[in-house]
Amino acid sequence: MSAALSLESVRLPRGTLGVVTLQFPVGVHVLTGPNGIGKTSLLNAIVGSLPLVSGRVHFSGQPLDHRDARVVLAPNTPPDMPWIRSGLLLDFIVSLYPGSRRDAGYVNQVKQAFGLGAFLDSPLGALSAGTARKLLLAATLIAAPPVLLFDEPTNDIDAASIAAFLEFVREAAMQRVVIMTTHHGGDLGSLVPTVHAFTTNDSK
């Protein structure tokens, strides 16, 4: 059975996507579309935090359960927990994924590339929007289950960090399904992704 994520007649409780049937094989996929159409809701539904109205989500031919450690999401806003130490949040997210890439070399490489070292002892509320987003991107890359979801990953972050992020995604996508939403498709062009452009009442 191929390692692909598939959505079968999925209908979301929010947005105007209608019924969605899609296949996401291993590689990079980009979801685009106007504000409010349901891109973020679709990612939340795949990760299990938004119940579906109808339809099913499968991975490698098996249903993706409501609680499943085969998928991780980097949200587009950091959690409303300004008191939490940034390093603790990163370690907590990673600890939820049994198959994560916890080898020290990769972890340090990711932290260094995003320039996170100096911020891991700071509370989340003290970080800039860009640094908080890079923290969530780093946690997602280190957790590294078979399906990685990124919601607007390049918003707020500097050019050097975007370049580093694209390199990590390129390497991760060789064996994993990577799905990203974006309004800035140009940033991700170098990955040569499969683009899924949604329009209102889209039915695929």
Interface positions with another protein (CB under 8 A)? 44, 47-49, 66-69, 71, 73-75, 79-81, 83-85, 87-88, 91-93, 95-98, 121-123, 126
Q: 109 and 141 in contact (C-beta within 8 Å)?
A: no
Contacts of 11 (CB under 8 A, 6+ apart): 17, 18, 19, 20, 52, 53, 54, 55
Question: Assign residue 163 a region: left if phi > 0, alpha if psi is -120 to 50, beta otherwise?
Answer: alpha
Residue 6 or residue 202: which is nearer to another protein going by CB?
6
Terminal alpha carbon distance of the chain: 23
Beta carbon of residue 200, minimum distance to another protein (angstroms, whole number): 25
Residue 67 or residue 159: which is nearer to another protein going by CB?
67
Residue 62 or residue 190: which is nearer to another protein going by CB?
62
Beta carbon of residue 67, minimum distance to another protein (angstroms, whole number): 4
Residue 92 or residue 200: which is nearer to another protein going by CB?
92
